[in-house]
Amino acid sequence: MNFNPSLTARLRIGFLILFTLLLAVSLIGVGRLFQIRVDFEDDTSRYFQLELEAERLNSSFVLEQSAIMPVASGGPPDAREFNAAADVFDGSADRASSLTEGDTEIARRLRRLTASEGEWREAVAAPRLRGRAPPASLERRLTRRVSASAEELGTSVRSARDEVRDDARTDTRDTTILVAFGLAGALLAALILFSGLINSMRAPLARLVDGARRLAGGDLETRVEVGGPVEIATLGQAFNEMATSLERDARERDRIERMKDDFVLTVSHELRTPVTVVKGFAEMLTSESKGLSASQLEAADIIADSAGQLQKMINDLLDLARSDAGKLRIDAEPTAVKPLAQRVGRHMRPNFEEKAQQLTVSVEKDVPDVEADSDRIAQVLSNLLSNANKYAQEGAQVRLNAQQVGRRVEFAVIDDGPGLEPEELEHVFERFWRAQSGETQAVGGTGLGLAIAKSLVDLHGGSISADSKPGKGATFRFVLPIASDSEGRPPAEQPGNGRPSAAETPA
């Protein structure tokens, strides 16, 4: 059975273990300190009582000595006083014996004292009570022995009491140190526990982050290893399911896109022939104007014009469909810039003359050749110039410039038309997009010209951009790589050398 507790459960378990360790160490430490205090107080009290009993033993022995001494009147010693003192001594000895509680040294000294006192009673007290005086040396020796034993007993009790106090201090210090080490160990164990918990989450989270980055980068085959706490494992499963769904949707979208491209290619190709036939017959009718009435001639002109627009739209759709399908090809070769720009200008001149606009073509001196398909770049320039022609007002100035910028050649189409808003510039190269102002809406078109221009420039390895301000016209620029055989060529060998610094001619 795979036991994989949730993150919440792991945190609860961790806190429970930490709480248990801290509680156990605290209880053991506090209990030990309390026990040391209790034992110290008990032992101190016991030794204090032992010390009192030792003093009583010594005092009662002094009373016994006084009782056996002759009275001043010369009469015999008082036996009752001696017996009372002896009873006090025996009672104190019994109580002291019960207080030793296994303390062998004090018990041994107490036994020596009672034995010495018993010997003194037999050898000194008993003869005196019977009226006979014992030898003085014997009496002094036995009396000193009892007194010395009593003093030794008192000294031992005091020493034992001091030792108990020192032991209590040592035990308290050692217990405090042990508790501190125990708490530190518990905190260290908690640190290790929570570090393990964090590490158990870090690896799967890192895999999820890496997988998300790869998925965002377009790698739809990305999957992550499911692991870690239940919540993170569930998140990993959800991520894998999402990636599978995205991959499935992407495949389906690609399939639909391919079907769409194939459909557009097929339909556009099939429409070209009948549209070309219609346009041809319409142009044939307009050329035979003698046999047509004015209304018929006008209708033929409209048919020819509409067929031409439809033919251009079909060609644009074919180009876009081929580009999407990866079937749009270019035959790039070294291409002279100036002849290309002038050729496009000549072809576009009638359109500008119809609106009384002036088109100027300007090519920088000694501009190198570009690596390009001349027909496709001519199509890009025609689309940009056609766009300027449509949207600029009558009498506007339109310029086509070409110059070298770094390792590339830049083409620019500049007009002084109505311009575009900043938010419109973001969509200007999108398919079927057209500006929403009243002036631009009045102009016909499909909104495919700039999209086709961008696709063709991208195929050449270049880039295209637009710059505009409302009311101040627009500028469309694109750059193309310089032809390899033009790089490093001396200026005298480059095409156009010896001409004016900038060839600027009206188209």
Please give the structure tokens belonging to residue 280.
């041809």
Angle at 350 between CA 346 and CA 352, to 5 degrees: 100
pLDDT value at residue 462:
93
pLDDT at residue 186 above 60?
yes
Share of the chain above pLDDT 90, in %: 26
Q: How far is C-alpha 385 from the geometric centre of its chain's CA atoms? A: 51
Mean pLDDT of 250-277: 73
The rounded radius of gyration (Å) of the Cα atoms in the chain is 59
pLDDT at residue 17 above 50?
yes
- In which element (H, E) is residue 178 found? helix 136-216
Mean pLDDT of 16-45: 86
Q: How far is C-alpha 420 from the geometric centre of its chain's CA atoms? A: 42
Give the CA distances from residue 358 to residues 216, 317, 342, 416, 442, in Å, rounded to whole numbers and listed in that order. 49, 30, 14, 11, 22
Residue 88: which of 102, 67, 109 has the closest Cα? 67
Q: Domain spanning 333-506: which CATH class is it, in words? A: alpha beta
pLDDT value at residue 465:
93
Region of 442 please: left (phi>0), alpha (psi -120 to 50) or beta: alpha
Q: Rounded to 10 degrees, what is the CA torsion of 305, 310, 312, 315?
A: -160
Please give the structure tokens belonging to residue 464.
């295209």
User: Is residue 328 classed as helix, strand or coil in its secondary structure?
Assistant: coil
Give the CA distances from residue 403 to residues 106, 217, 268, 367, 410, in Å, rounded to whole numbers and listed in that order. 118, 37, 37, 6, 5
- Do the bridges between strand 358-364 and strand 397-405 make them parallel or antiparallel, or are there none, so unpaired? parallel
pLDDT at residue 84 above 70?
yes
Mean pLDDT of 176-201: 81
> Lowest-pLDDT range, 179-193, 253-267, 348-362?
253-267
166-182: pLDDT as tens digits: 999 999 999 889 888 88
pLDDT at residue 399 above 70?
yes
Alpha carbon distance 450, 229 (integer Å)? 53
pLDDT at residue 418 above 90?
no
Please count the CA atoms within 13 angstroms of the CA of 466 that sit on its side-chain side. Answer: 25
Please give the structure tokens belonging to residue 123.
């050898």
Please count the CA atoms within 13 angstroms of the CA of 3 that sit on its side-chain side. Answer: 2
Question: How many CB atoms neighbour CB 239 within 10 A?
Answer: 19
> Lowest-pLDDT range, 41-50, 337-346, 409-418, 496-505?
496-505
- Do the bridges between strand 370-372 and strand 408-415 make them parallel or antiparallel, or are there none, so unpaired? unpaired
292-329: pLDDT as tens digits: 777 877 787 788 778 777 777 777 676 766 666 666 77
pLDDT value at residue 108:
92
pLDDT at residue 382 above 80?
yes
Alpha carbon distance 420, 467 (integer Å)? 8
Q: What is the maximum alpha-carbon separation in the chain? A: 192
Question: How many CB atoms neighbour CB 242 within 10 A?
Answer: 12
Burial class (CB in 10 A: 0-12, 13-18, 19+), 233: middle
Share of the chain above pLDDT 70, in %: 84
Task: Check residue 299 and report its DSSP letter.
Answer: H
476-503: pLDDT as tens digits: 999 999 988 666 554 434 444 434 344 4
pLDDT, the chain, mean = 82
Q: Rounded to 10 degrees, what is the CA torsion of 33, 36, 40, 43?
A: 160
- Do the bridges between strand 474-481 and strand 408-415 make them parallel or antiparallel, or are there none, so unpaired? antiparallel
User: Which of the given ranges, 230-239, 401-410, 433-442, 450-459, has the highest pLDDT on average?
Assistant: 401-410
- In which element (H, E) is residue 409 found? strand 408-415
User: Is residue 403 classed as helix, strand or coil in its secondary structure?
Assistant: strand
pLDDT value at residue 496:
41
The arrangement of secondary structure in 230-324, i.e. its CATH architecture, is Orthogonal Bundle (1.10)
The more confident residue out of 411 and 201 is: 411
| Domain ranges within the chain, ordered by starting residue | 7-196, 230-324, 333-506
Please give the structure tokens belonging to residue 320.
């876009």
Banded model confidence at residue 7, pLDDT cuts 50, 70, 90: low
User: Is residue 418 classed as helix, strand or coil in its secondary structure?
Assistant: coil
Residues in the chain: 507
Banded model confidence at residue 398, pLDDT cuts 50, 70, 90: very high
In this prediction the pTM is 0.47
Mean pLDDT of 80-106: 89
* Phi then psi dihedrals of residue 437, to 5 deg: -70, 160
Helix axes 374-391, 337-354, angle to 10 degrees: 30
Mean pLDDT of 414-439: 77
